[in-house]
Structure 1
Amino acid sequence: MILNRFVWLPLLLLLGSSAIAQDIQSLLTKINAYHDSRPIEKMHLHLDKYSYTAGETIWFKAYTVVGAENLLSNLSNIAYVDLVSPKDEIVANIKIPLASGLGLGDITLADTLIEGTYRLRAYNNWMRNDSSAYFFQQNILVSNGRLDNVQTQSQISGDNYVVLLRDLQGTPLTEKAVRYAISKDGKVLKRGRLNSGADGRLEIPLKDEYTQAKLSIQFENQAQVPVEKIFKIPAVGARPNSVQFFPEGGHLLAGTLNKVAIKTLQPNGLGIAAKTYILTSGGDTAAIIKTNKLGMGASHLFIDPKESFTTATYFEDGTSVQTSLPPIETSGYNIQVNNGNVNRLFAQVNMSSDKQNGKDIYLVVHHLGRTYYVSKQAASKAELTFSVPKEELPSGVLTISVLNHDLVPLMERPVFIFQTARELPLAVALSAPSTGTRKHVTVSLESGNPSDSVRNAVLSASVINASKIRDSIQLMPNILTSLLLSADLNGYIENPGYYFDGDFKSNEVDHLLLTHGWRKIDLASALTPGEPAFLPEKSISIRGQARKLGRKAPAAGAKMTLISSKNFMDFIDTVANDEGYFEFDQLFFPDSVKFLITAKDDKGKNNIDIIVPKAEETPAGPNRNAPDEKNDINAKFLDDILQSKQFFAGLEAQGLMEKTIAIQEVVVTARSSKKKASENSANLNGPGNADQVLTAEDLETCPTLEMCLNGRLLGVMFRNGRPYTTRGGGEMQVVLDGMYIEGDQLSMINPVDIQSIEVLRNVGYTAIYGSYGGNGLIIITSKTGRDAIQSYTPKGIVTVQPKGFNLNRTFYKPVYEINSENQLQRDLRTTIHWEPNIVTNSEGKATFDFYTSDEKGTYLIILEGLDLQGRLIRKTIPLEVR
């Protein structure tokens, strides 16, 4: 791992002139140099809400910070945001620019999305040097009432997984032919076919190894539209709850007082309240540990060297389990931390008699490579007490590391510091505490204190109809949980907002840190770090290598030109270096733009091969929040789906939303004497594997290709000569004899020269094309086909389509005033308003406004952001609409 989160940096130590002191200073200097060149960035996305339905848009603002103080970062200027499906596939990937660590973006949820638990993942190139576990990740629930229109109820019943299929009105889907597949860790464990019963019931046999596997079922709904559902199979068979023990600092030491934390879990990975009794060999109770509702708790335990212990845990569901404590050491160290004092952090290092050798013990308090406190004491007694002033400590997860005289890490203990002075003061005033429907509301903000030298803050605000949010908003992730907890802890955090809901729950957070395990420090990697694999991106770059034609030898000094296909008069020149490598940087362009790269040698010849490697993709990887994944989302949000269908119908009638067009799937079973598609087709799925195929005979009477295709290609419409999909409205990719071309070039192709045209719209055909297939493809094969390609190989020219920046849309904001044209006929919005770019002035003041919808109830204004000092804020303000 290039970036190690748990390597520490020094402050100046007042050390003597001994040889060991020189070794310490040398070590600290090396680590200091390492981390000065490798600061660690953290990222948070503020979303407009936490659940969506197909057809809606995810609106978000990105906050990128660096260092323990959460200062806005200028390190990276580009961020990536992925939408990962319940099948662990990246279904949307956008690139957004960052300015001083801030960026805006949006992702439209296509009507073809599978219902289920999706996750948003955000990161930048520099963050890829560290573990992807520290990327921003958040689950969101997505229902689908656009094309899906099926609700399910699923559960384990006996030895089967039972799924009930019903339409949105509750009518069972009877006698539906269903294909199913059970997969786990990328491997298919079982495939099968069955029909739903008279009550829409499916019964799929289970085995123990199917636990936590994904079940996929595919069928047609009542409108004959193909539908797929994904279910995460819960624990199969009778699986008990479990308990884990976590000694403070990683060690249980005999003859001393120890602190032991526990974590009690259900088989699905969620916490469960329980009570654990630690019993002596004689059956006496040595300690009792009671967990909270998230399954975490801690207590002290004195360990008699002559005693042995057992434990008994009783869960709130009536079950119990008996187990043993972790091994008890008779020689070694342990640590006890007291974080309850407002002004000071106390730590006591205990050691066995054989470790009391008079040599120095070092205690270091650090965070992400920056040290805030260093102290040493001689190991001359059983207990060493350290007192750390909190005044200079930042808010967030800090690590206490204990090292011996030889600088060998002995143990470490994470602690959470919550400095109220590090919280951004933010006053919020509404034009009225309550209001009516379709009324204007103004929100006035004032950040900071009058004594602050700088009061500017950057904020984002979401206004939502709280009655449509199923989960508790106070328990959901937010800027505090992202930047102060999740960015520093590897693993799942259940209900992260719980710790900051109301008064800060310091004891609960301490139990969370104790049960996230003991992390061993690796100092060696900091001394020999090598070059980072991924550099901070300041702009979009296109890199490659120029080689002599047909050889691997570099074309040193080749003159390279980058030409935009949008404007052939717009070009950039550069020269390849001695190894043939070239780079065009400082680029800024929207996504979907294609470029031509040309090359000539010093004699003006184009006998050059241009190699442009594909951008390395970041795999979706496992979901760190997997225990929160839910099934049967359509059923959970049925009322919202029905209401959203009315709302979308109104938007479609006003021309504010594309209509959903579902084309009935046609299955052709007749055999043909020959393939309709040309055998020379460049279709990556194989010739003829397409949703629709036109042959030369179909095109015989066409005066122009565009006129012939318009109206004949299913699911395709033409605008200004370019083909667009009717499902989502995006422009389709045209491929001519294996070459990607622009859609408006269709008018230049003579229909007489075409052998076949294939239309790819189904994800089963388009997936192989990656981002090129997002809106479908039209594959055109000329009558010369591959023969023409083989007879002529382009030299010194290549077409590339690097990923550009996402084009942000503007949030639609109705205005309900007399004579206003910007109104909705029926306003049933869930996200009432999205204001991502709030900047308070030098006096800390800013305002924004919005109009309420047609629905009464409680609205919530959710504000997040930070100021230039890195002080964070998350605030919710209710608004009653009557």
Structure 2
Amino acid sequence: MKTADTFCIYSLVLVLLFSIYDLDAQENPVFNTIQGQLATYANLTPPEKVYVQTDKDCYTSGETIWFKAYVLNGITHWESDKSRVVYVELLNSKDSIIAQRKLYANSGWAAGDITVPQDVKEGPHVLRAYTKYMLNDSELVLFQKKITIWSQQLNSNDIPEKKFEKDERGEETSKNQIALLNTTKPIVQFFPEGGNLVAGLTNVMGLKITDAAGTGIALQGKIVNEDGTQIVPFRSFEFGLASTYFEVKPDTDYYAQIEINGVTEKYPVPRPLSKGYVLQVSNYGEYVVVRVSTNINNGLKGTLLLGHLRGQLIFKRFEKNSNEDTYVIKILTSKLDDGVAHFTLFDPNGEPVSERLSFIENPKNNVNFSVKSDRPKYGFREQVALALAVQDTKGASLGGHFSMSVVTQNSLEKETSTIKSWLLLNSDIGGMVENPNYFFVDDSRARDYVLDMLMLTHGWRRFIWKSFIAEGVSKELAFQPERGIMISGSTTAFNNRYRPTKAITNLNILAGDVYQEKKPTNAQGRFSFGPFFFKDSVEAIVNAERAVKSKRAADQVSIYLDSPYPVVQVKNPLKRQIDKATSTYAKPYLKETYRKKLNDFKYDPKVTKLKEVVVKAKIKTRKELINDELSSRTLYGEARNRILLDSIPSAQTGSVLDLLRRIPGVQVFGSFPNQSVLIRGAMNFGGPIGPLYLLDGIPMSSDFIQSLPVPDVLFIDVLQSSEAALYGSRSMGGVIAIYTRTGKNFEETPERYPGIANATIPGFYKTREFYAPNYATPAPKHDKPDYRTTLDWVPDINITEKEKTKLNFYTGDTAGKYMIRIEGITSDGRPVSALHSFRVID
């Protein structure tokens, strides 16, 4: 990968180029700001991207997920010079984290592994990866990959099996899903090219047609006017995408008309603007044609058309003295990188009025990754020799970092993403593309057409122009890039967690030799020590005292250490897709893994067969266990009226007080931020009495409670009469006790002491070494049958431009077709993915 020094040189050159703006454009300072902000974004504060390659796409309980995480500059796709820490998490279908890894990314990558728990719940899972620096983005685009996991126990011969039919796209679909397509009214979304339909002009409009589950539907329809007269027909293809064009008449309403099972459905088309701009982009591969038009008199005068690709400026045109209402330009793609190009038209006031995406594919950027095995077929336990070579279109050798897995064909899925589809497509438009690899395995005209419709119906997700221009890119970061393990936290008043206190902190790490470091906090009481590098967990003690020493109890300091893992509040964009996920190869793959597990159990020397013993006991329900854990945080035990936010759908909306409307007898008046609460029966001779508010046991005002972020709340108890007696006369109006999340859900709040906090700080995860047998050397352990589904996993393949790369591994004792999957990034930032197959015969 390119070094940081090389990147800085390129950045300096680009900044100088971008600073020499067109003289005409300099007459509008807003345009100078736009171009300056874009240059700063691309060269000084670029985003980061993370991609993770796994050895397989589906797993069973107890298996190991072997993976490699790439941490890259989001603009150049070179090794990132910012973060050295990457987080990889396995989430179940409810977005609960069931495994986490914190890895040190040296030279832009890190290898890791996750063992799937034996008690995992079968179904769709997500592998998520990110750096802390990526959490600064206003709209989070974190790496996510669908992982299908099957629960498989040795005492069961049940192997999941699904029956499939073919849907209209030729893809495999379960019978339940087909029934959904036939009975549900389709959802139709409209995407006028550039953003709006404009009266009096010829407009292109994209449509996206899906079922209730979000699956694209292939069908035919037509655009009609308010009289029902057909204007133009349309037809949706892959992913339910369609496009059409027609001249929009003033003061006319239009509808999309579709016939489903003999019933005609009509959908209103967005009303056109009476005056506006139209931006149309046509991609012909070797060049892109951009057409700009308006129905405003002299409307193009003073406008700016700007194009960028991942933040790097590729085109600009300033219209200084134009009396025309249309202009057309042609942009050659021969010198452009591959990826999503973003074209924006700004009016004379600097307001973005029209946008369009287009996917650039420059054939000169293609990479030929050659994977050659010495034979196409092998017997059991024979050596496979591989020769790897990477070349550009001119035959010149390329270097880079790559990873390789050798697995049974049944463990791979057709619709998985690759490093190329993620870096060039999905990561820049929000990670919402269903089956993104479809656009990189074929270059037919049909694929090009669907890809352009995809660009037509999606927007740029990395930034929004208005906030980008107003706020800039040099603002203070909430999350700094991590170069190692950081020990951070905050100091507050001991009797009030929500009152920051400036203090002097002292860190003591107890690992071998004692390490000590002293730092003052900032004005908000924040402190941070590091970066550190260690793999074993260490014990740490943090002391703090006010800069001006005091013996008063009111001046004592409390220390709160941050969690070693970030808390990520992001909706899972893959959820809609993975809820329908079913592996086509489930049955044969599960047979392979079951045979291996049975064999491992049989040959495990630590296993002793015991006689059956029956144990009878009453098991507490999950609800009872959760209530016990929650009640351990209160002084009064369990409350009769309790709200647990994790059990309430859409509980993150509204204010904290809005949640109380769910409890009988509690009245909430007004709307945020002017709300009040009364509990039934809470009154004296003077009239109704408001409740006492407690936050983690500390009395708080109603205004403060209203301002509390709902995601911070774990549960709420409402106490009445005898339940509230513990709080004396203050509780005559009842008690509303709110408890916040502290680290993991349902954890007990630790006891605190003034001026000191101790914690066990986890180090970086120590990745296990993948076991690959060497059958050339006899060994007793080779007597055991070899039913591995992953024959080899090599995460650290470094290919140079001068030396040839050769690898070898051994087959096992299972016949069938095997796939060699190699992914990586070249030294100049080009993503590469390659597949090679061979057979093992008995």
TM-score, structure 1 as length reference? 0.69
- Given that 2:288 and 2:332 are in contact with CA atoms closer than 8 Å, whether structure 1 keeps it comes out as yes
Secondary structure of the residue aligned to 1:11 is helix
Q: Aligned pairs, how many? A: 691
* Aligned partner of 1:372 among 314, 326, 330: 314
| CA positional deviation for 1:99 | 1.6
* Aligned partner of 1:481 among 414, 418, 421: 421
Residue type of the partner of 2:788? R
Q: Which residue of 2 aligns with 1:618?
A: 567
Residue type of the partner of 2:417? P
Secondary structure of the residue aligned to 2:279 is strand
Q: String of CA shifts for 1:429-467, please: whole Å, max 9, x gaps.
A: 111122222221111111235979883211111111113
Secondary structure of the residue aligned to 2:324 is coil
Secondary structure of the residue aligned to 2:593 is helix
Whole-angstrom CA distance in 2 between matches of 1:415 and 1:660: 64
- Given that 1:249 and 1:518 are in contact with CA atoms closer than 8 Å, whether structure 2 keeps it comes out as no
Q: Does residue 412 in structure 1 map to residue 358 in structure 2? A: no
Q: Does residue 495 in structure 1 map to residue 439 in structure 2? A: no
- Given that 1:69 and 1:395 are in contact with CA atoms closer than 8 Å, whether structure 2 keeps it comes out as no
- Given that 1:242 and 1:321 are in contact with CA atoms closer than 8 Å, whether structure 2 keeps it comes out as no
Q: Point out the more displaced range, 825-834 or 614-623.
A: 614-623
Structural mapping, 1:765-776, within 5 Å: none
Change (3 A) 1:868 1:669: closer
Whole-angstrom CA distance in 1 between matches of 2:465 and 2:831: 31
Q: Which residue of 2 aligns with 1:258?
A: 203
Q: Which residue of 2 aligns with 1:853?
A: 812
Q: Which residue of 2 aligns with 1:393?
A: 336
Residue type of the partner of 1:667? A
- Given that 2:25 and 2:32 are in contact with CA atoms closer than 8 Å, whether structure 1 keeps it comes out as no
Q: Which residue of 1 aligns with 2:9?
A: none
Q: Which residue of 1 aligns with 2:508?
A: 562
| CA positional deviation for 1:523 | 3.0
- Given that 1:348 and 1:385 are in contact with CA atoms closer than 8 Å, whether structure 2 keeps it comes out as yes
| CA positional deviation for 1:31 | 5.2
Q: Which residue of 2 aligns with 1:423?
A: 366
Secondary structure of the residue aligned to 2:785 is coil
Change (3 A) 1:581 1:133: closer
| CA positional deviation for 1:132 | 5.7
Structural mapping, 1:157-168, within 5 Å: none
* Aligned partner of 2:617 among 646, 663, 667: 667
Q: Does residue 324 in structure 1 map to residue 268 in structure 2? A: yes
Gaps of 5+ in 2: 1-13, 164-175, 621-627, 639-740
Whole-angstrom CA distance in 2 between matches of 1:71 and 1:425: 19
- Given that 1:549 and 1:609 are in contact with CA atoms closer than 8 Å, whether structure 2 keeps it comes out as yes
Q: Which residue of 2 aligns with 1:402?
A: 345
Q: Does residue 273 in structure 1 map to residue 218 in structure 2? A: yes
* Aligned partner of 1:293 among 238, 245, 252: 238
Q: Which residue of 1 aligns with 2:648?
A: none
Whole-angstrom CA distance in 2 between matches of 1:260 and 1:669: 59
Whole-angstrom CA distance in 2 between matches of 1:483 and 1:663: 55
Whole-angstrom CA distance in 1 between matches of 2:19 and 2:605: 62
Q: Which residue of 2 aligns with 1:510?
A: 452
Q: Which residue of 2 aligns with 1:585?
A: 530
- Given that 1:557 and 1:578 are in contact with CA atoms closer than 8 Å, whether structure 2 keeps it comes out as no
Name the structure where helix makes up a greater proportion of residues: 2
- Given that 2:429 and 2:459 are in contact with CA atoms closer than 8 Å, whether structure 1 keeps it comes out as no
Q: Which residue of 2 aligns with 1:71?
A: 78
Q: Point out the more displaced range, 384-393 or 135-144.
A: 384-393
* Aligned partner of 2:822 among 837, 849, 863: 863
Q: Which residue of 1 aligns with 2:791?
A: 832
Residue type of the partner of 1:322? K
| CA positional deviation for 1:24 | 2.9
Whole-angstrom CA distance in 1 between matches of 2:782 and 2:637: 48
| CA positional deviation for 1:319 | 6.9
Change (3 A) 1:646 1:549: same
Secondary structure of the residue aligned to 1:138 is strand
Q: String of CA shifts for 1:313-344, please: whole Å, max 9, x gaps.
A: 356x88763323321233211122111141x2
Secondary structure of the residue aligned to 2:792 is strand
Secondary structure of the residue aligned to 1:801 is strand
Secondary structure of the residue aligned to 1:120 is strand
Q: Does residue 815 in structure 1 map to residue 774 in structure 2? A: yes
| CA positional deviation for 1:258 | 1.9
Q: Which residue of 2 aligns with 1:179?
A: none
* Aligned partner of 1:799 among 740, 743, 758: 758
| CA positional deviation for 1:477 | 0.6
Whole-angstrom CA distance in 2 between matches of 1:299 and 1:680: 58
- Given that 2:38 and 2:313 are in contact with CA atoms closer than 8 Å, whether structure 1 keeps it comes out as no
| CA positional deviation for 1:54 | 0.4
Q: Which residue of 2 aligns with 1:222?
A: none
- Given that 1:448 and 1:844 are in contact with CA atoms closer than 8 Å, whether structure 2 keeps it comes out as no
Whole-angstrom CA distance in 2 between matches of 1:302 and 1:141: 47
- Given that 1:459 and 1:836 are in contact with CA atoms closer than 8 Å, whether structure 2 keeps it comes out as yes
Structural mapping, 1:29-48, within 5 Å: 29-30=36-37, 32-33=39-40, 36-48=43-55
TM-score, structure 2 as length reference? 0.72
Change (3 A) 1:658 1:429: farther
Q: Which residue of 1 aligns with 2:840?
A: 881
Q: Point out the more displaced range, 833-842 or 280-289.
A: 280-289
Change (3 A) 1:297 1:845: farther
Q: Does residue 111 in structure 1 map to residue 118 in structure 2? A: yes
Q: Does residue 571 in structure 1 map to residue 515 in structure 2? A: yes
* Aligned partner of 1:461 among 389, 404, 417: 404
Q: Does residue 540 in structure 1 map to residue 488 in structure 2? A: no
Whole-angstrom CA distance in 1 between matches of 2:110 and 2:334: 32
Structural mapping, 1:15-54, within 5 Å: 15-16=22-23, 20-30=27-37, 32-33=39-40, 36-54=43-61
Change (3 A) 1:85 1:234: farther
CA RMSD of aligned residues (A): 4.3
Change (3 A) 1:643 1:14: closer
| CA positional deviation for 1:423 | 3.0
Structural mapping, 1:42-191, within 5 Å: 42-131=49-138, 133-146=140-153, 149=156
Change (3 A) 1:25 1:831: same
| CA positional deviation for 1:863 | 1.0
Q: Which residue of 1 aligns with 2:696?
A: none
Residue type of the partner of 1:97? Y
Q: Does residue 649 in structure 1 map to residue 589 in structure 2? A: no
Q: String of CA shifts for 1:696-725, please: whole Å, max 9, x gaps.
A: xxxxxxxxxxxxxxxxxxxxxxxxxxxxxx
Whole-angstrom CA distance in 1 between matches of 2:69 and 2:608: 31
Change (3 A) 1:636 1:241: farther
| CA positional deviation for 1:391 | 2.9
Whole-angstrom CA distance in 2 between matches of 1:660 and 1:406: 80
Change (3 A) 1:866 1:533: same
Q: Point out the more displaced range, 650-659 or 843-852.
A: 650-659
Whole-angstrom CA distance in 1 between matches of 2:255 and 2:803: 58
| CA positional deviation for 1:561 | 4.0
Change (3 A) 1:124 1:669: closer
Whole-angstrom CA distance in 2 between matches of 1:808 and 1:681: 35
Secondary structure of the residue aligned to 2:191 is strand
Change (3 A) 1:628 1:657: farther
Whole-angstrom CA distance in 1 between matches of 2:584 and 2:33: 63
Secondary structure of the residue aligned to 1:815 is coil
Secondary structure of the residue aligned to 1:279 is strand
- Given that 2:293 and 2:325 are in contact with CA atoms closer than 8 Å, whether structure 1 keeps it comes out as yes
Q: Which residue of 2 aligns with 1:215?
A: none
Whole-angstrom CA distance in 2 between matches of 1:658 and 1:401: 66
